[in-house]
Amino acid sequence: MNTKRQNPPKESPEELERRRVLQETLSCLMAEEEAERVCSRLLKSFGSFDGIFCAPEEVLRGTPGIGEKTAHFLRLVTQLSQTYLEERSWNLLRIYDTASAVEMFRPKFLGRKTEAVCLMLLDGRGRMVYNNIICEGSISEVPLYLRQVLQLCMEYQVEEVFLAHNHPSGVAFPSQNDLLMTDRLMVALDSINVVLCDHIIFADESYYSFQSSGVLTRQEDIMRQAQLDETESVRRLETRLRGQHGEN
Q: What is the pLDDT of residues 200-243, one digit of tens each?
A: 999 988 999 999 888 787 766 565 655 555 566 666 656 665 66
To the question of pTM greater than 0.85 for the whole model, the response is no
Q: 21: pLDDT confidence band, cut at 50, 70 and 90? A: confident
Backbone angles phi, psi at 181, to 5 degrees: -60, -40
* Among 109, 134, 110, residue whose Cα is nearest residue 121: 134
Cβ neighbours of 77 (radius 10 Å): 15
- For the beta sheet containing 160-166, the strands, ordered from the edge strand earlier in sequence to the opposite edge, are 128-136, 116-122, 160-166, 195-203, 206-209
Given a cut of 60, is residue 115 above it in pLDDT? yes
Contact 219, 186 (CB under 8 A): yes
Q: What is the pLDDT of residue 149?
A: 95
* Among 115, 212, 241, residue whose Cα is nearest residue 167: 115
* Among 118, 113, 53, 114, residue whose Cα is nearest residue 80: 53
Q: What is the pLDDT of residue 160?
A: 95
Greater model confidence, 128 or 241? 128
Residues whose CB falls within 8 Å of the CB of residue 106, separated by 6 or more in sequence, listed in order: 85, 89, 202
Least confident of 19-23, 25-29, 85-89: 85-89
Contact 169, 140 (CB under 8 A): yes
Greater model confidence, 160 or 35? 160
Cβ neighbours of 120 (radius 10 Å): 23
Q: What is the pLDDT of residue 80?
A: 84
**CA gap 181, 215 in Å, rounded:** 12
**CA gap 219, 204 in Å, rounded:** 27
Using a pLDDT cut of 70, give the percent of the chain over it. 81
Residues whose CB falls within 8 Å of the CB of residue 58, separated by 6 or more in sequence, listed in order: 71
Q: Helix (H) and strand (E) counts for the chain?
A: 10, 5
DSSP 8-state secondary structure symbol assigned to residue 207: E
Torsion, Cα 68 71 74 76, to 10 degrees, reads -50
Least confident of 58-62, 106-110, 196-200, 226-230: 226-230
Contact 128, 104 (CB under 8 A): yes
